[in-house]
């Protein structure tokens, strides 16, 4: 059976970097409800990361993500000076030295990926969606979480891809291959949207149009979340859905502003933020030791 929802897992190592010269090797692990990332930074520069599906429990998912990020680098877990856990499963990572919320980590990670001009960050994760405002240092100044349901999230998109039998990575592009933009489905609740979509398909509405209707419903829901918090430029999007232009392009159109282009994969922003917090904590520790 084809698993339409399944996206590709991957890992990355900086091409010309050597960790042996690094003063601080810090690590951030973001265990989300759908995906987990491990990020390793050397002196605050991105060195290696992995992105994989979260398994049935947080400790294992964290372990597997870290092992994969370390793979081929010659680094071992013992070489990490500090590990910060974040995300939904952050309190369940036994080998992390500290847990920090994903809100703080995404803001800090966005500051790294998009630069210090970013003031509004939208994190579209697996199970919830967060609108964050931050200052030039990536410190959170305001946030709003959509705590209610899986609408506008990676999980919702997976369910939908499966229903329509479209590979999840293709949803965005296909949703623009329509003669005219259809009205959004009235519900973004995964359960209702699913039955609404089935009804549209039965009526003979083309698949791409149903995709478009769902993407635009998701975009609109996220828009209203952002509107409540207030959007200040510059704007950056993190998390898995940031790669789905079916949602992103419709959202930025409604907002009337474009989003910045990230320097790195925006799905690892939470992990990057966690690794940067880890680096600061090492610096603090070392400064404390010198003072004493």
Is 148 a binder of other proteins (CB under 8 A)? yes
Tokens 């409800």 locate to 33
Q: Which of 1, 15, 137, 147 binds other proteins (CB under 8 A)?
A: 147
CB atoms < 10 A from the CB of 52, how many?
19
Is 257 a binder of other proteins (CB under 8 A)? no
Buried b (16+ CB within 10 A) or exposed e, 82-107: bbbbbbbbbebbeebbebbbbbbbbb
Cα distance between residue 168 and residue 171, in whole Å: 5
Backbone angles phi, psi at 69, to 5 degrees: -65, -35
Nearer to other proteins, 139 or 286 (CB): 139
Structure tokens at 247: 């949602």
Closest distance of CB 73 from other proteins, Å = 29
In the shown chain, the binding pattern of residues 61 to 100 toward other proteins, with x for contact by CB under 8 A and - for none, equals ---------------------------------------x
Structure tokens at 36: 């987990």
Give me the helix-helix angle, 102-114 and 269-291, nearest 10°. 100
Q: Which of 139, 177, 253, 263 binds other proteins (CB under 8 A)?
A: 139
Question: Are the C-beta atoms of residues 268 and 39 closer than 8 Å to each other?
Answer: yes
Question: Are the C-beta atoms of residues 270 and 28 closer than 8 Å to each other?
Answer: yes
Per CB under 8 A, contacts with other proteins among 168-207 are none
Give me the helix-helix angle, 190-202 and 154-164, nearest 10°. 20
Cα distance between residue 96 and residue 86, in whole Å: 9
Closest distance of CB 27 from other proteins, Å = 17
> Within the chain, where are the H helices?
58-70, 102-114, 154-164, 171-174, 190-202, 207-229, 245-255, 269-291
Is 104 a binder of other proteins (CB under 8 A)? yes
Is 144 a binder of other proteins (CB under 8 A)? yes
Stretch that binds other proteins, among 111-119, 145-153, 160-168, 251-259 (CB under 8 A): 145-153
Stretch that binds other proteins, among 71-79, 136-144, 166-174, 212-220 (CB under 8 A): 136-144
Per CB under 8 A, contacts with other proteins among 216-255 are 224-225, 228-229
CB atoms < 10 A from the CB of 162, how many?
16
Per CB under 8 A, contacts with other proteins among 272-291 are 277
Total of residues contacting other proteins (CB under 8 A): 20
Stretch that binds other proteins, among 1-9, 38-46, 133-141, 242-250 (CB under 8 A): 133-141
Is 142 a binder of other proteins (CB under 8 A)? yes
Nearer to other proteins, 17 or 140 (CB): 140
**Interface contacts to other proteins, rule CB under 8 A:** 100-101, 103-104, 133, 139-148, 224-225, 228-229, 277
């Amino acid at each position: 059976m084809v698993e339409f929802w399944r996206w590709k897992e991957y890992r990355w190592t900086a091409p010309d970097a050597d960790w042996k010269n690094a003063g601080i090797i810090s690590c951030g692990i973001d265990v989300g409800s759908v995906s987990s990332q491990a990020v390793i930074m050397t002196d605050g520069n991105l060195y290696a990361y992995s992105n994989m599906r979260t398994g049935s429990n947080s400790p294992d998912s964290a372990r597997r993500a870290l092992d994969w990020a370390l793979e081929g680098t010659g680094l071992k877990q013992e070489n990490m000076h500090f590990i910060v856990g974040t995300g939904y499963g952050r309190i369940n990572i036994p080998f992390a030295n500290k847990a920090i919320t994903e809100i703080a980590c995404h803001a800090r990670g966005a500051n790294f990926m998009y630069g210090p001009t970013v003031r509004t960050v939208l994190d579209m994760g697996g199970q919830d969606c967060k609108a964050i405002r931050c200052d030039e240092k990536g410190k959170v100044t305001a946030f709003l979480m959509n705590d209610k349901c899986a609408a506008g999230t990676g999980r919702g998109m997976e369910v939908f891809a499966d229903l329509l039998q479209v590979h999840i990575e293709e949803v965005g592009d296909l949703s623009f291959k329509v003669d005219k933009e259809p009205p959004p489905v009235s519900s973004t609740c995964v359960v209702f949207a699913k039955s609404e979509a089935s009804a549209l398909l039965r009526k003979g509405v083309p698949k791409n149009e149903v995709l478009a209707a769902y993407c635009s419903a998701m975009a609109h829901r996220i828009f209203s979340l952002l509107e409540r918090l207030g959007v200040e430029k510059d704007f950056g999007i993190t998390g898995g859905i940031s790669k789905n232009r079916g949602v992103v392009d419709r959202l930025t159109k409604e907002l009337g502003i474009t989003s910045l282009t990230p320097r790195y994969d925006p799905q690892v922003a939470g992990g990057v933020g966690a690794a940067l917090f880890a680096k600061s904590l090492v610096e603090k520790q070392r400064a404390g030791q010198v003072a004493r």
